[in-house]
Structure 1
Amino acid sequence: MKEAKLIEEFTTEQRALLPKVQLKNTFQIDKIQLVAGVDLAYWDVEGKTYGTCCIVVIDFSTHEVVEKVHSYGEITVPYISGYLAFRELPLIKAAAKKLTLQPDLFLFDGNGYLHYRNMGIATHASFYLNKPTIGVAKSYLKIDDIDFTMPENREGAYTDIVINNKIYGRALRTTKNVKPIFISCGNWIDLETTTDIVMSLVNKESRLPIPVRLADLETHVKRREY
């Protein structure tokens, strides 16, 4: 299928899902027991692209790993900026089906509401996982040529990312003297809770929340294996 046709089809689906996004909590934060990090990695072999999705589940209180699953397969959807979810969802769904434990919340290495059409991977995937989601990006996705404001150099400092008078996400400094990350609601969660949860999952080993960092590390392991 030609790219223009794919973009038309993908855009239609994103726009249909957007009214169903709720940037408010559908859970009680003190009831959260398990949280999961999700990340993907890709590589090419003989002209074909393959990928792996790794999901790492940790105990929200102790931060101990309680389950790890992954999926693997050939990637058939081309990379199109702004439509990454359609490339990644088949592997995400395949990995999630292998979970024997059910996380209360999923954190993605990628964007959620901070997206051209407010439908980044964390937001889009929520409809298939049926759980609240958070987007955690290492780099900034510039939308409508709007830059972010650098937060103060202290742990927990943040600045809202405002585009067309709407808050899309936050630039969050999780660690002093380390560059910020870019967080956004995925779905069924508000931005204040998103910020609190991300900060509660950061330790001295990384600026990323623990489950996202562990999922990222796991993708490197699986890529080497395959």
Structure 2
Amino acid sequence: MQKQFKKEQEKWLSQIDLNNHFQPNDLKLVAGVDLAYWSKDGKEYGVCCIVIIDYITHAIVEKVNYYGEITVPYISGFLAFRELPLILKAAEKLSIEPDLYMFDGNGYLHARHMGIATHASFYLDKPTIGVAKSYLKIDNVELKEPKNEFGAFEFIQTEDEIYGLVLRTRKDVKPIFVSCGNWIDLETAKDITLHFVNKNSRLPITTRFADLETHAIREKLTSNQ
């Protein structure tokens, strides 16, 4: 299974483009994506929620979800194969087309540059950003903590290239990890992430609202079982 998954990742690798395929000033609608899981009778289930946010007003424009059985086991480095089926089914339910997707997870910040945000871009055909709450170490690279102030960041890089950045979105709060998904540059990914951060959370409201929605839907589904 891993060999097949790795081959799929390698197929897309040459098609990653870390340049903007859009004008940031033209952004109108941005989607946040997250998943939640639960088990029942020896089977695992998941729900994907997508929340579309107005870029200017930060109002929620649309919410959709899709749930089903998870058939792919968790394998480190291959999370996209576990999550993508639910993500694509949820995206099919959208009546509005977002300009960009933000994922609760990594993109280019991945051992093979194929985190969920990057992998999903080829199927959604949209620019993507990865926003993660924790750091999965790349080539034993240790993190350098950013200054304790809003907007401070440090690059996560090997000797050869930059994978992403660790970003401080609130003073005295743990930083988050931002990376390009695809068809966007890292500076724009950082600026869009900061644009959606408010005083209530260190996370951008796109992925935060998607996270809250997944937990609400999961509770509703499991309470009826």
1:165-180 aligned at under 5 Å gives the runs 165-180=160-175
Structure 1 partner of 2:66: 71
Tell me which residue corresponds to 2:46: 51
> How far does residue 165 in structure 1 lie from its aligned partner after superposition?
2.0
Match of 1:3? none
| Paired residues for 1:61-210 under 5 Å | 61-210=56-205
Q: Could you list the runs of 4 or more consecutive aligned residues of structure 1 that deviate by over 2 angstroms after TM superposition?
A: none
Query: Equivalent residue of 1:20, what SS?
Result: coil
Give % identity: 63
| Residues in 2 aligned to 1:171 and 1:198: alpha-carbon distance in whole angstroms | 12
The one-letter code matched in structure 2 to 1:195 is: K
Tell me the distance in 2 between the aligned counterparts of 1:33 and 1:220: 26
Compute the displacement of 1:164 (Å).
3.6
Could you list the per-position Cα deviations for residues 16-67 of structure 1 after superposition, in whole angstroms to 9, with x for gaps in the alignment? 1010000000000111000010000111101000000000001000000000
When the two chains are superposed, the root-mean-square deviation of aligned CA atoms in Å is 0.6
Aligned length: 221
Counterpart of 1:56, as a letter, is V
Give 1:163 deviation, angstroms.
1.8
Find the aligned partners of 1:86 and 1:140 in 2 and give their Cα distance.
Answer: 20
CA distance in 2, matches of 1:59, 1:186: 20
SS of the aligned residue for 1:102 comes to coil
Cα deviation, 1:77-103, whole Å, max 9, x if unaligned, reads 111010000000000000000000000
Structure 1 unaligned blocks of 5 or more:
1-5
Query: What is the distance in 1 between the residues matched to 2:160 and 2:11?
Result: 22
SS at match of 2:93: coil
Task: Name the residue aligned to 1:221.
Answer: 216
Paired with 1:133 and 1:97, the residues of 2 have a C-alpha distance of: 17
Q: Give the CA deviation at 1:148.
A: 1.1
**One-letter amino acid of the structure 2 residue matched with residue 84 of structure 1:** L
Unaligned runs of 5+ in 2: none
TM-score for both structures, normalised by structure 2: 0.97
Structure 1 residue matching 2:14: 3-state secondary structure: helix
1:146 deviates by 1.1
Question: 2-side partners of 1:51 and 1:163: how far apart?
Answer: 34
Q: Deviations for 1:173-224, whole angstroms, at most 9, x for unmatched residues?
A: 0111111000000000000100110011100010101110000000100110
Q: Distance in 2 between matches of 1:97 and 1:163?
A: 38
- Displacement of 1:145 in angstroms is 1.3
1:143 & 1:199 partners in 2: Cα distance?
A: 24
Cα distance in 1 for residues equivalent to 2:13 and 2:159: 17
